[in-house]
Structure 1
Amino acid sequence: MARGNLTDEQWGRLELLLPPIPKMGRRPRDRRQVFDGIWWRARTGSPWRDVPERYGPWETAYSVFRRWQIDGTWASVLKRLQVKADSDGIIEWEVSVDSTVCRAHQHAAGAKKRGLTIRAGQMRTAWRASRMTTPWVARGAA
């Protein structure tokens, strides 16, 4: 068993919550191997193509992941695991969030803005200070 894979006890608990194996088509790959591949990818955040060979083809892990995501299997499994953990008293539902440690960026806190402010319906026009007329330009204009 590779580091990070599910233990036998964890797999035994999880296997009961997964949907039944379809009875049609080719015999499917070992579910535990595919699930460990999905779990590896979720833990590491790597691309699907980088799933190690020991978990089987990455395409299989991806297709099972997507199928279960689309049909709601992941949400169902999570909900049932939470219900079981809550009944066992493992989950602590009361959480205290202290917002004093969250610091907003200075622009989000109403810092003074520099430059022109353009209101709706106004156009921003660039202007330059008039240049001084040089003597040779004045002579040419006369």
Structure 2
Amino acid sequence: MVDHGGVIRRHEVTDQEWQLLAPLIPRAATGRPRASDRQVVNGTVYKIRTGISWRDLPERYGPSKTVYTRFRRYALAGVFTQALQQIQARSDAASDIDWLVQIDSTIVRAHQHAAARLSHPTEIRGGE
């Protein structure tokens, strides 16, 4: 993780994670200096892990508009999909993935407010 004066932040990518992501990040077309790609990725990770709005990102990650714009650019370029595929391939090669395990979404319990409530519970029981 990036060391910020002795403080290691838990919402930031590790050096190992960055080594995987860095080659996938599209390079800037302009010669103008831009915010650090790693800083932007850390801002994206922070936003996703905490659930805050883009506008509430701490200043240490750069302007929130920059972080959001780059997140969209990376997503559209397939950076996150490629990273997931690489992680899966490495884990599969190391036999760390049990491909026989699956989750059937038809049995995953939904939030209590996600399901429609019946107005007459007896309808299920055949009109008892």
* Superposition TM-score, scaled by structure 1 size: 0.62
1:12 aligns with 2:19: yes
CA contact (8 A) 2:26 2:74 kept: no
- Structure 2: segments with no counterpart, 5+ residues: 1-7, 124-128
CA drift at 1:94: 2.4
Write the mapping of 1:39-78 to structure 2, written as runs, cut at 5 A.
39-78=45-84
User: Residues 30-89 of structure 1, C-alpha deviation per residue, up to 9 Å, x if partnerless?
Assistant: 111110000000111110011111111111110011112223332222222222222122
Task: Give the paired residue count.
Answer: 111
Q: Which 4+ residue blocks in structure 1 deviate beyond 3 angstroms? A: 96-108
SS at match of 1:26: coil
- Partner in structure 2 of residue 112 of structure 1: 122
| Bigger RCO (CA 8 Å, 6+ sep) | 2
1:84 aligns with 2:90: yes
Cα distance change of structure 1 residues 97 and 60 upon mapping to structure 2, 3 Å threshold: closer
- Structure 1: segments with no counterpart, 5+ residues: 114-142
CA RMSD of aligned residues (A): 3.0
One-letter amino acid matched to 1:45: G
What CA distance in whole angstroms lies between the structure 2 residues aligned with 1:106 and 1:27? 52
Larger radius of gyration: 1
* Superposition TM-score, scaled by structure 2 size: 0.68
